[in-house]
Amino acid sequence: MDARRVIEAVRDGEGLSVEMAEWFTRGLVDGSVGDAQAGAFAMAVLCRGVGAAGRVALTEAMRDSGKVMRWDLGGPVVDKHSTGGVGDCTSLLLAPALAACGAYVPMISGRGLGHTGGTLDKLEAIPGYSVNPDEESFRDLVAAVGCAIVGANDRIAPADKRLYAIRDISGTVESIDLITASILSKKLAVGLDALVLDVKTGSGAFMAGQDQAVALARALVDTANGAGCKTSALITDMNQPLCFAAGNALEIIEVMQTLTGSQVNEALWDVVSALGGEALMLAGLARTAEDGAARIDQALESGRAAEVFGRMVAGLGGPIDFVEHYLDRLPSVPVMRPVPAPRRGYVAAIDTRALGEVVVHLGGGRLRAGDRINPGVGLSSLAMIGEDREPNEPLAMVHALNAEAAERAIARVQAAYHLAEGAPEEPPLIHERIV
């Protein structure tokens, strides 16, 4: 077998066999497949697809291209993946809540991509928190605490790392087949028994249209189940931020307020509860998703999830008293400015992607690879769809390094909000369930 034969088979609509997928991914890792061949393969997949069986074959081959973890913990190993959004920090609540319910959660997360925030960037706002522990420490923490949220190492799905870099420069990022294999190869390499997917739709999502989001969710669910991991997905709304804040330290504050019950974000809680209910049902720790959601609610209400979160933070190098003193431990910035509403009206629509871009340009994300992030910048007190504002009443608060950056952000936030005379219909939190 050779790379040309594999490329031609996909190009001609023959799909991708298990043998072809295994050979090609080995070539990606050992270098026998060149960059031009990898790019041609990615373009052939984008244009012709590989079908359901081909997606499973590619996902399993990429999963097996590196280390596949095995666990012996006395309980199910579960995880969650989100396709990315703005002001979305569900992972930080969900992982400790699942652990408090008897699951083990070795959560491999990522950094911000484009306008979307990254879980690792948020956690690194916590002083001392290490997202790159060695494997032994990672395993020990999952066993002792029940969860650990960290980054992937080079041994996890190395074929995906190579192919993703090629996709990024060859105009093939949008292929659902390749997106599916990329996401799932890394998740399944961690040795999961169950996986719940949070697929976003709306103005702040990568898949803005609901039909696109459903198509991706269906591909992910069918492929993961075909690869032997019990999986379901929720299509959740990203027509507005899920949190009242967008920015790394600011979102951590909102997480801690919800975990400790000092100021609960009900929308964030409800999405976490729904995702957690799915995960517990899939893992066999709840009879139904509704029963699982009730268990997640109890873990949050009782403070057990907050306790687990604190132990995880301490175990990864953060402050041992973080839960009690998070406001004193998190970084802030010197300038805070309100964003005045330009006129009276109800918030009818939000360009959520634009809000994410505001955070990036304030320094809370990366405009170029290698950019350093300032964890304290961002937006807080965000107005949500359906809320009414009088002229000059704040739509949000800008947290910036200087007055000039704040003024630029104010204008961009104002442009992202559409005000109308009548009250709009508020979007649902959860649009659809895919099983």
* Burial category of 334 from C-beta neighbours within 10 Å (exposed 0-12, middle 13-18, buried 19 and up): exposed
Residues 6 or more apart in contact with residue 211 via CB below 8 angstroms: none
Same structural domain for residues 148 and 294? Answer: yes
Which residue, 304, 325, 346, sits at the end of a domain?
325
Same structural domain for residues 235 and 149? Answer: yes
Confirm whether 72 is domain-assigned: no
* 34 has pLDDT over 80: yes
Same structural domain for residues 279 and 345? Answer: no
* C-alpha neighbours within 13 Å on the C-beta side of residue 177: 23
Residue 373: CATH number of its domain = 3.90.1170.30
Which residue, 267, 295, 325, sits at the end of a domain?
325
Q: Which amino acid is at 209?
A: G
Confirm whether 71 is domain-assigned: no
Residues 255-284 have pLDDT tens digits of: 999 999 999 999 999 999 999 999 999 999
What backbone phi and psi angles, to 5 degrees, belong to 397? -115, 135
Confirm whether 110 is domain-assigned: yes
Same structural domain for residues 340 and 279? Answer: no
Confirm whether 70 is domain-assigned: no
**Which DSSP helix (H) or strand (E) runs through 231?**
strand 230-237
Confirm whether 301 is domain-assigned: yes
The two structure tokens encoding residue 233: 């997905």
Look at residue 1 in the predicted model and tell me its pLDDT: 85
Confirm whether 31 is domain-assigned: yes
Asked if residue 232 lies in contact with residue 275, where contact means CB atoms within 8 angstroms, the answer is no
Which residue, 291, 325, 359, sits at the end of a domain?
325
Residues 218-265 have pLDDT tens digits of: 999 999 999 999 999 999 999 999 999 999 999 999 999 999 999 999
Same structural domain for residues 249 and 168? Answer: yes
Confirm whether 430 is domain-assigned: no
What backbone phi and psi angles, to 5 degrees, belong to 395? -90, -25
Residue 9: CATH number of its domain = 1.20.970.10
The two structure tokens encoding residue 166: 């090629």
The two structure tokens encoding residue 183: 């996401």
Same structural domain for residues 170 and 116? Answer: yes
Annotated catalytic residues are 79-82, 119, 167, 182, 186-187
Asked if residue 419 lies in contact with residue 221, where contact means CB atoms within 8 angstroms, the answer is no
Same structural domain for residues 133 and 231? Answer: yes
Same structural domain for residues 139 and 247? Answer: yes
Q: How would you write 121-146 as a 3-class SS string? A: HHHCCCCCCCCCCCHHHHHHHHHHHC
Confirm whether 163 is domain-assigned: yes
Least confident of 152-156, 158-162, 266-270, 290-294: 152-156
Residue 263: CATH number of its domain = 3.40.1030.10
Count of residues in the chain: 435
Residues 294-310 have pLDDT tens digits of: 999 999 999 999 999 99
Same structural domain for residues 50 and 155? Answer: no
234-249 as b/e: b if 16+ CB within 10 A = bbbbbbbbbbbbbbbb
At 206, the pLDDT band (50, 70, 90 cuts) reads: confident
Helix (H, G, I), strand (E, B) or coil at 95: helix
Same structural domain for residues 88 and 128? Answer: yes
Q: Which domain holds residue 47?
A: 3-63
**Distance from chain centroid for Cα 348:** 26
Same structural domain for residues 202 and 58? Answer: no
Number of domains in the chain: 3
Asked if residue 105 lies in contact with residue 78, where contact means CB atoms within 8 angstroms, the answer is yes
Same structural domain for residues 211 and 145? Answer: yes
**Which DSSP helix (H) or strand (E) runs through 78?**
strand 78-82
126-to-131, 208, 280, 359 alpha-carbon distances in Å:
11, 31, 28, 18
Please state, in angstroms and rounded to a whole number, the distance separating the CA atoms of residues 144 and 158.
28
